[in-house]
Structure 1
Amino acid sequence: MKTLKTLKKPVSLRSHVEDYLREAIMEGRFKPGERLRERELCEMLQVSRPSVREALRRLEAEKLVTTVLHQGPTVTEMKEDEATDIYAIRALMEGYAVHQFTLLASDGAINELKKAVQNLHKAAKKRDQKLLIQAKARFYDVILDGCGNALVREILVNLLSRISLLRAKSFSGPDRLPKSLKEIDTLFGHIEARNAEAAQASAHQHIRNAEKTALDVMTQQAQKQNVDEDVSPALSSGPCKA
């Protein structure tokens, strides 16, 4: 298990443990399929077992943690078909939200969206994945707040953790970030011009491009894991005898 920074004991301890573990999963400090042992987490974070247990239950509800028989809580291994399903829902829901936002948003809301785009560029210059994910989430928050459809927002908020996990994968593609920023700039340009159809088409294309990168990264990670698993038994079999 990794060494994580000790938590302070503030307002809501459970929510801080939850946020900390969520971030560790998003950033890949806990790998897909890795066991999350309560006792070790308690020692690392210097918190009680109930706090860890409640946080793990919440992360399980978000599909970031899975309870495996005879193993207990483990980091969920997202399959390619699940990722494809999430991107399909995103393309449908976010495309609609962008279309409606373009038609309905006030000038003030569009100005807020412009600030979100600027913050996304600032985060990109720092090459800070955590800031990037937060900035991208803020961009879509503004759109969902102004699209006039509470149900679309509810559906996407329920998928937020898994969407953020996929964003982390797509951002890790070597060439994806500059392309993503250009796509967001194009999307914002259509919104600012009040061209709802073009904005919706840009949103769809942006999500499809992100999907391709994320799936490529997932395939590469799966191949690397298979190689590591094939090599490990050979390394642990002891020295060769002449």
Structure 2
Amino acid sequence: MDDSPSPTRSAVLSQTVAEELKRLIYSGEFQPGERLNEAALAIRMGTSRGPIREAMKVLAGLGLVTPVPNKGVFVRQLSVREMIEVYELRALVFGYAAERACEHFSPEAGARFERLLAGMDEACEASDGTRYYELNLAYHELILDLCGNRRARQAYDDYVKELHLFRRRYFNVRSNMRKSNVEHRKIYEAIASGSAAKARAAAERHVLDGRSRLLATLEEPLAG
């Protein structure tokens, strides 16, 4: 009898490993620039190297790790200068998305916004940065969905992938979570009222203010 895992089981295992590696990267246990040892990870997670390799591919697709030929896989490094540039582009796309979202707002969307905002408030009270980060992503995704522009959504997703490592660290600060969610509500209220100009301005300001708060948490100087 063949005891090798079925394709479905292998896919589930690889995804489980990928989620655990994401958690370890976001928590800071694996630092930017650190090499991920495939053999050590297989032992740690009680699996063969196959699921580890597949999980690495998933993480590479998310922009969290960088495969280097003949050297291995490393946790992604992004310079502060690169981060600033990505934030500027992200602000433009998110502002556009919020503006367009006004055209497709519905009571159902409003209920989803309220649930996400309430969940983020609860995460703030619990100082649960991981939960807040997940809900924050869902909030932004809702606006991109309402926008209805697939190319804008893809561009935004690409920018978010590049910023994951910086932004997860930012949401470990409780005051940042609170300020962020106040801004979330302002964007939502502008979209719900159909004020496209206000929605765009609030969304762009939210991203740029988030960038400023993030910079305050980083020790790396801007020069260079």
> 1:117: how far off?
1.1
Match of 1:74, SS state, is: strand
Please give the residue correspondences for 1:46-125 in structure 2 after superposition, counting only pairs within 5 Å.
46-68=46-68, 71-125=71-125
Size of the aligned set, in residue pairs, is 213
- Asked if structure 2 preserves the Cα contact closer than 8 Å seen for 1:113 and 1:143, the reply is no
Separation (CA, whole Å) in 2 of partners of 1:174 and 1:122: 12
> 1:130: how far off?
1.1
- 1:18 is matched with 18
Q: Compared with structure 1, are the counterparts of its residues 54 and 11 closer, same or farther at alpha carbon in structure 2 (3 Å cutoff)?
A: closer
1:154 equivalenced with 2:160 (yes/no): no
Separation (CA, whole Å) in 1 of partners of 2:186 and 2:60: 36
Q: Which has the higher contact order (CA 8 A, sep 6+)?
A: 2
Match of 1:94, SS state, is: helix
Please give the residue correspondences for 1:1-242 in structure 2 after superposition, counting only pairs within 5 Å.
12-68=12-68, 71-173=71-173, 175-218=175-218, 220=219, 222=220
Deviations 1:77-104 (CA, angstroms, capped at 9, x unpaired) = 2111221122122101111111111222
Separation (CA, whole Å) in 1 of partners of 2:94 and 2:76: 25
Deviations 1:153-195 (CA, angstroms, capped at 9, x unpaired) = 1222334433433322332356422221221122222122221
Deviations 1:23-53 (CA, angstroms, capped at 9, x unpaired) = 2112212111212100110011111101111
- Asked if structure 2 preserves the Cα contact closer than 8 Å seen for 1:97 and 1:147, the reply is yes
Q: Which amino acid aligns with 1:201?
A: A
- 1:239 is matched with none
Match of 1:12, SS state, is: helix
**Higher-Rg member (1/2):** 1
Separation (CA, whole Å) in 2 of partners of 1:174 and 1:120: 11
Separation (CA, whole Å) in 1 of partners of 2:136 and 2:164: 9
Q: Which amino acid aligns with 1:53?
A: R
Structure 1 residue runs without a partner (length 5+) = 1-8, 224-242
Structure 2 residue runs without a partner (length 5+) = 1-8
> 1:118: how far off?
1.2
Deviations 1:128-161 (CA, angstroms, capped at 9, x unpaired) = 1110111101111211111121111122233443
- Asked if structure 1 preserves the Cα contact closer than 8 Å seen for 2:35 and 2:72, the reply is yes
The two structures have a TM-score, normalised by structure 1, of 0.80
Separation (CA, whole Å) in 2 of partners of 1:96 and 1:10: 40
Q: Which amino acid aligns with 1:184?
A: H
- Asked if structure 2 preserves the Cα contact closer than 8 Å seen for 1:105 and 1:147, the reply is no
> 1:217: how far off?
2.2
Separation (CA, whole Å) in 2 of partners of 1:71 and 1:207: 36
The two structures have a TM-score, normalised by structure 2, of 0.86
Separation (CA, whole Å) in 2 of partners of 1:31 and 1:168: 12
Q: Which amino acid aligns with 2:149?
A: N
